[in-house]
Structure 1
Amino acid sequence: MSAFVREQPFLWVPLDDEPGADSDRRVLERNSIALLSNFDREPVDPRRTDWIGRHSRSRAIRESGLWNVDHADEQYDGGFLGLFADAVDDATPP
């Protein structure tokens, strides 16, 4: 499992603001989780039947398909996608 995770691509997204309730970091985290969550909705990307999270004691983990379930039961604000796109542009070399 560690080898599989290690091989996954990732992008470090720089956000140059102080952490806080209204920070860009918080906006991206909250809305990304809400967007990706399957909690109490028809899953767009259902987890495989052998996904270990299906055995969790937490209903939120089992139904959201996510390990981080803070905000999994919320609706996302599509406006955050512009902020995310700008952050990705800043992270991508020209």
Structure 2
Amino acid sequence: MSTYIREQPFLWVDVDDEPRADSDRAHIEQNAIALLSNFEGQTVDPRDDGWLGKYSRSRAIRESGLWNVNHVEEQYDPDFLDLLEDAVEDTTPL
């Protein structure tokens, strides 16, 4: 499993503001979690039977398909995608 995870591509997005509840980075994080969550909704991206989260005591983890329980019950604001796009475009490749 570690090898599989290590080989996944990722993008580090530079959001240049101070971390706080009303920051751009918090807005992006909260809305990305809400967008990806399957909690109490139609499952768009179901986890396979071997996903360990299916055995969690936390209903939010089992149903959302995410390990983070914060913001999984929220609706996302589609406008955050514009903010994320701008942050991606402003990120300098490593």
TM superposition score normalised by structure 1: 0.94
1:11–1:91 Cα contact (<8 Å) kept: no
Is 1:47 equivalent to 2:47 in the alignment? yes
Q: For residues 38 and 11 of structure 1, what CA distance do their matches in structure 2 show?
A: 23
Is 1:79 equivalent to 2:79 in the alignment? yes
What RMSD, in angstroms, separates the aligned Cα atoms of the two structures? 1.0
Gaps of 5+ in 2: none
Runs of 4 or more, structure 1, over 3 Å off, are none
Once the two structures are aligned, what percentage of the paired residues are identical? 67
1:31–1:77 Cα contact (<8 Å) kept: yes
Gaps of 5+ in 1: none
Per the alignment, in what secondary structure is the counterpart of residue 41 of structure 1? coil
Spell out the pairing of 1:1-94 with structure 2 (5 A cutoff).
1-91=1-91, 93=93
User: Aligned pair count?
Assistant: 93
TM superposition score normalised by structure 2: 0.94
